[in-house]
Amino acid sequence: MPTQGKLEAVCKTVLERITPKPDERKKIEGLAKTLERKVAEAAEYFGVKAAVRLEGSVAKDTWLSGEPDIDIFMRLSPTVPRTALGEVALKVARKATEGARQVERFAEHPYLEAFVDGVRVNIVPCYEAKRGEWLSATDRTPYHTDYVKARLTPQMRGEVRLLKKFMKGIGVYGAEIKVGGFSGYLCELLIIRYGSFLEVLRTFANLRQRMVVDTENHYEGRKDELPLLFNEPLVVVDPVDMGRNVASAVQRQKLYTFVAAARAFLENPSLKFFYPPETKPLTVGELKEALQKRGSTLVFIIFGRVEAVPDVLWGQLYRSQRSLAKLLETNDFVVLRHTVWSDEENLNAFIFELESHILPPVKRHLGPPLEKIEDCQKFLAKHSANPETVSGPYIEDDRWVVLIKRKQTDATTLLSEKLRDGGRSAGVAKEIAQALSRSFKIYKNAEIVEVYSRNSEFAKFLTEFLQGKPKWLEKA
């Protein structure tokens, strides 16, 4: 067991690195002020009535040095129709950041991401809504900012920064669908509730069952209602909206990765958790050797551009991944692991690791129990003189059974056939199916070097996937 001293020393080192220095702070705060003004002016220019305000981690002073995101919110009148909200906001935002690189983004409604002086700026619309009378998902944000600002001491801001950096380091930070992890606001609420980074870690390290955080005691005396309202394993009741679980986006795997990492860090603190070593991709030769020695089969489905914004893309990728894994499993392939990768531009990959991509040509097929007389008749009629029947029908215990030829014995053939038309019938999501129906390619084991050697990000991802082990699990 490490001494408290060792833990504190690591935290101190990290905190020094991630707390913005006066120069950086001055630059970012100045830029935020300027942008606030520019957005207000642009709104006025278009005759749009809007309350413009800085939100997010810069407003709350919980941003990480070197990784600022400036969020400027425009609060519009509820008289603007929802369908027009995004359009109006985009027009204003484009004008306010004229000359900067601009990317249209989409969450619940469109918003603009711009890069100004090398800093990412999000200009987001919302409604001037009364507390509890939300018209769009972003309406709560100004209330969140106010709630957090009023409660965080300067000391606690450091603790938030540590928690965020830790979560980034172990890959569970971010509520976007791609990550399915912890949002910045969630980190702040956890610090408000538990007081410090280490206390949050200790709490999660001891997680043994469902965890409910209700800092504002919205459910005082009504705790029984919570399981009916929320079924996620981690529930953090939103202080500004008791009907909302701030942790609803946190996937189980991310929650438990955090739990495991918290335990490991408390046992053996190290900078590695905050600053994981960069992955050095295997050379092509090493990759080939690793795949050969491994003995499993990796099947890759590689395809190109999907017409969808990131949140939609990842939602559809994950859904399709699950459906394809299911397809393989219902056809008796043993799926060891599966994952998905995307550069969000021109290259997407589903990866399935199988015990084997070839199945034996014969399988057992259980018929009805003898007591179901009509089903038995149908079963015998179907299998008794069928050329696909290898043996039987025979009686085993109280059922008819046959050994029959297996229809699909090769996973790559199965996938090729099912995806030829996009794979909608196999549960592939719409936009993914469109991309697949244009073209895709299936690679098996070392055949992937073709893709691997021309895309270093993919190479890094695959190297990590093969290793499988979180970096913080390595002994120091």
Q: Would you tell me which residues interact with a second copy (CB under 8 A)?
A: 206-209, 233, 252-253, 255-257, 259-260, 263, 294-296, 334, 336-337, 353, 355-356, 359-364, 370-371, 373, 376, 380, 384-385, 390-400, 402-403, 405, 466-470, 473, 475
- Nearest residue (CB) to a second copy, 339 versus 437: 339
Contacts for 361 with CB less than 8 Å, ≥ 6 apart: 405, 406, 409
> Over the range 92-126, which residues count as b (16 or more CB within 10 Å of their CB) and which as e?
bbbebbeeeebeebebebbbbbbebeebebbbbbb
| CB of 180 vs a second copy, minimal distance in Å | 12
**Residue from 141, 88, 90 nearest 113 by CA:** 90
Cα four-point dihedral sign 245, 247, 250, 255: negative
Report the helix count and the strand count for the chain, using DSSP H and E.
17, 15
d(CA 42, CA 343): 34
Name the minimum Å distance from CB 418 to a second copy. Answer: 23
Distance (Å, whole) CA 383 – CA 390: 10
**How far apart are CB 131 and a second copy at their closest, in Å?**
35
Rounded CA separation 452/302 (Å): 11
Q: What does the DSSP assignment read for 174-231?
A: --STTT--B-HHHHHHHHHHHSSHHHHHHHHHT--S-EEE-TT-TTTT-GGGHHHH--
Cα gap 420→175, rounded to integer Å: 34
Give least dist CB 452 to a second copy, A. 17
Q: Which is nearer to a second copy, 50 or 167 (CB)?
A: 167
Least Å distance between CB 150 and a second copy?
34
Which ranges of 73-153 would DSSP assign to H, the alpha helix?
82-96, 141-151
Shortest CB 172 distance to a second copy, Å: 10
Residues 6+ apart with CB under 8 A from 91: 46
CB 363 to a second copy: min, Å: 7
Closer by beta carbon to a second copy, 345 or else 371? 371
Q: Confirm if 136 and 84 have CB atoms less than 8 A apart.
A: no
Main-chain dihedrals φ then ψ at residue 213, nearest 5 degrees: -115, 125
Report, in Å, the least distance between residue 157 CB and a second copy.
Answer: 30
Nearer to a second copy, 97 or 257 (CB): 257
